[in-house]
Amino acid sequence: MPAEFLDSSRAAKGLETRTEAYLTQTLLPPPREYFAKIRIYLQRMTDTKRTTNGVHLLSQLNLENGDSQINAGPTIFKEPCESIRFRSGAQLSFGITLRSDGRNARLLSYRFYLSLLPASGLRFVRIDLNAPKDDYDPLHVPRCHLHPGFEGIHIPFPVMEPIAVLDRIVHVVEPHFVP
């Protein structure tokens, strides 16, 4: 193998180690409280006219294994669907999975899917934190990554608290696609 590939592989493994360390150290409020934080955030975005219809799409599910999932629209985006809408015509849906010990929660995974209008040049931007498992190839599919309009492209993305990802999408990503 070329030396450059070995350096890329080592760097990817280092990023994966930092991602896992962040996830181990980061404690979130219990799912019900985190749901409330997201609800307040989405209501503020609607009140300031950044988005429409976000709050009524929010739901919380208790999964069979005890984990909690917070969703806004479908976690796998398919048009047409109920989703958070932006003035640009873009639509956002997301799903977040948390594991709680009663006092705190740990972040397990998320998927934020921003569907864009055809005139934008991209079909979508998706930010994923995949569920933990042992068989990731961090060079080709890092656990936390961004899809820039193509399913097969996985660009490493820094893991962040879900509400921070939501905020970046609302204030940084989506405004670039306003006609």
Q: What is the pLDDT of residues 119-144, one digit of tens each?
A: 888 889 999 999 988 677 888 899 99
Query: For residue 174, which of 84, 96, 56, 109 has the smallest C-alpha distance?
Result: 84
In angstroms, rounded to a whole number, what is the distance separating the alpha carbons of residues 159 and 161?
7
Mean pLDDT of the 110-115 span? 94
Task: Return the percentage of the chain with pLDDT > 70, whole number.
Answer: 92
Q: How far is CA 46 from CA 53, 55, 66, 74, 115, in A?
A: 7, 8, 31, 19, 18
* This model's pTM is above 0.85: yes
pLDDT for 118 equals 85
Range of the domain at 94: 3-177
Q: Give residue 3's pLDDT band: very low, low, confident or very high (50, 70, 90).
A: low
Q: How far apart are CA 84 and CA 82, in angstroms?
A: 7
What percent of the chain is modeled with pLDDT above 90? 64
Tell me what the pLDDT averaged over the chain comes to: 89
The residue count of the chain comes to 179
Please give the Cα distance from 92 to 171 (Å, whole number). Answer: 13
Residue 58: closest CA among 80, 74, 78, 81: 74
Q: CA angle 113-114-118, nearest 5°?
A: 130
Residue 38's pLDDT is 96
Determine the Cα–Cα distance for residues 13 and 80; give it in Å rounded to an integer. Answer: 38
pLDDT band at 7 (very low <50, low <70, confident <90, very high): confident
Average pLDDT over every residue of 146-164: 93
Q: Which pLDDT belongs to residue 91?
A: 92
Q: How many domains does the chain fold into?
A: 1
Query: Is the Cα torsion angle 87, 130, 161, 139 positive or negative in sign?
Result: negative
pLDDT at 165: 97
Type and span of the H or E element at 128: strand 124-129
Instruction: Answer yes or no: is pLDDT of 178 > 80.
Output: no
Confidence band for 104, pLDDT divided at 50, 70 and 90: very high
